[in-house]
């Protein structure tokens, strides 16, 4: 397939980098100000080299991406809340011209799910968004394979930064502020970690899951969200007295979404350590399924995007 990639952050760049290995051509790669476009396939290495050197990706205008011949638009621009723009408009333009879309951007799927599905219904193209939930972990395709009707709930840990912080606090008996600074030094936490530690990032993923289970109806404002900023090291010590630990756990069902710090058995499946993610998919007829793995990172998330590209119907 011919991929047009919008967004040249970790995920967009990794998709461009790995596309060839998966048998696809990259015909466009754009960030918000510049683009490299070539209907015969761009020179990905050169574009990425320029970008990393601080130069424009290429000589083209990002708006021209939609004029070129492509099969799949990969939407990997940063997640925005509220109206989820400009991501939503990118998806709309692609669907209206009967192209497929694969999203790595959580915003449109969490905030404007019904609109996306309505646009898809009018289009020859399809949308897929495995990369928006749990990075490399096949969460949505597992739900899809079990059929959403047979899944009663999805629970788990879907934010590596918060999980890393809680794991270190429990292991070292340290307080939140101390471990956060360490996580920032290690590059696990961003300079502004608010979205990760206040639960918003995890909530967006569970909103997407609730939308898939219930076929729409949810956005971030429907979620009950609590973060981990108020959890002191002493709370983790007390939990350990009982063989438990604290994790930032999300839950999505057809009834709603809840994210917050919860007590879980110390040696239980959901008590993953470090930046690892896990989901427990509760099914009606087959008990619980657990999928665990790397929930973030450029190449990891890019594999989810490229798996989606592989699942799209040929056009």
Partner 1 sequence: MADESAEDEAETDGGVRAYTVRLELVDEPGELLRALAPVADNGGNLLSIHHERGNITPRGHIPVEVDLESPPERFDEIVEGLREAGVNVIQAGAEHYGEELSVVLVGHIVENDLSGTLSRIEDEADAVVQDLSLAAPDGTDATSSARIRLAIDSGRSDQVFEVVRSIGADKDLTVVEPLVGGDA
Catalogue the active-site residues.
205
Strands 2-6 and 100-103: unpaired
Q: Does 246 bind partner 1 (CB under 8 A)?
A: yes
Output the CA torsion 270→128→148→293 (10° steps): -20
Of the candidate spans 104-112, 125-133, 195-203, 224-232, the one that interacts with partner 1 by CB under 8 A turns out to be: 224-232
Structure tokens belonging to residue 125: 């193209």
What is the Cβ-side half-sphere exposure of residue 3, based on CA atoms within 13 angstroms? 32
Residue number with CB closer to partner 1 (108 or 227): 227
Q: Does 268 bind partner 1 (CB under 8 A)?
A: yes
Residue with tokens 């096949």: 138
Cα(82)–Cα(99) distance, integer angstroms: 25
Interface of this chain with partner 1, residues 287 to 306, rule: CB under 8 A = 287-288
Minimum distance of partner 1 from residue 270's CB (angstroms): 5
- Say if CB 280 and CB 151 are below 8 A apart: no
What is the Cβ-side half-sphere exposure of residue 285, based on CA atoms within 13 angstroms? 5
| Beta-bridge mates of residue 6 | 30, 75
Residue number with CB closer to partner 1 (118 or 269): 269
Of the candidate spans 15-23, 62-70, 115-123, 280-288, the one that interacts with partner 1 by CB under 8 A turns out to be: 280-288
Interface of this chain with partner 1, residues 161 to 180, rule: CB under 8 A = none
Residue number with CB closer to partner 1 (243 or 310): 243
Please tell me whether the peptide bond between 136 and the residue prior to it is cis, using omega within 30 degrees of 0.
Answer: no
Residue with tokens 């193209």: 125
Residue number with CB closer to partner 1 (68 or 229): 229
Q: Does 262 bind partner 1 (CB under 8 A)?
A: yes
Q: Does 265 bind partner 1 (CB under 8 A)?
A: yes
Minimum distance of partner 1 from residue 182's CB (angstroms): 19
Interface of this chain with partner 1, residues 225 to 244, rule: CB under 8 A = 226, 230-235, 237-239, 241-242, 244
Residue number with CB closer to partner 1 (212 or 264): 264
- CB contact set of 231 (below 8 Å; sequence gap of 6+): 166, 169, 176, 246, 261
Q: Does 267 bind partner 1 (CB under 8 A)?
A: no
Rg over alpha carbons for the chain, rounded to the nearest Å, is 20
Interface of this chain with partner 1, residues 135 to 164, rule: CB under 8 A = 153, 155
Catalog residues that contact partner 1 under the rule CB under 8 A.
Answer: 153, 155, 226, 230-235, 237-239, 241-242, 244, 246, 249, 251, 260-265, 268-270, 280, 282, 287-288
């Amino acid at each position: 397939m011919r991929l047009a990639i919008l967004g040249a952050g970790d995920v967009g760049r990794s998709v461009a980098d790995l596309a060839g290995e998966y048998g696809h051509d990259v015909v466009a790669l754009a960030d918000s100000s510049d683009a490299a476009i070539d209907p015969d396939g761009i020179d990905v290495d050169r574009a990425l080299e320029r970008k990393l050197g601080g130069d424009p990706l290429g000589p083209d205008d990002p708006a021209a991406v939609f004029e070129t011949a492509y099969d799949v638009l990969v939407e990997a621009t940063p997640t925005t809340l509220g109206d989820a723009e400009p991501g939503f408009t990118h998806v709309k333009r692609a669907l209206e011209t009967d192209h497929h879309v694969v999203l790595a951007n959580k915003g449109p799927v969490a905030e404007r799910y019904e609109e996306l599905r309505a646009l898809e219904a009018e289009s020859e193209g399809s949308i897929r968004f495995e990369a928006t939930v749990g990075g490399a972990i096949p969460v949505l395709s597992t739900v899809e394979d079990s059929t959403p009707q047979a899944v009663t709930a999805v629970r788990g840990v879907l934010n590596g930064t918060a999980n890393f912080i809680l794991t270190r606090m429990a292991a070292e008996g340290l307080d939140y502020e101390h471990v956060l600074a360490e996580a920032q030094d290690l590059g696990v936490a961003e300079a502004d970690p608010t979205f990760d530690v206040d639960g918003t990032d995890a909530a967006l993923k569970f909103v997407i899951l609730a939308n898939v289970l219930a076929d729409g109806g949810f956005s971030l404002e429907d979620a009950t969200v609590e973060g981990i900023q108020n959890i002191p090291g002493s709370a983790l010590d007390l939990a350990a007295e009982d063989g438990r630990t604290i994790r930032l756990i999300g839950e999505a069902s057809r009834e709603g979404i809840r994210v917050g710090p919860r007590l879980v058995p110390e040696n239980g499946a959901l008590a993953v350590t470090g930046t690892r993610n896990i989901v427990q998919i509760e099914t009606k007829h087959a008990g619980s399924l657990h999928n665990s793995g790397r929930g973030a990172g450029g190449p990891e998330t890019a594999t989810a995007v490229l798996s989606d590209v592989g699942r799209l119907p040929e056009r």
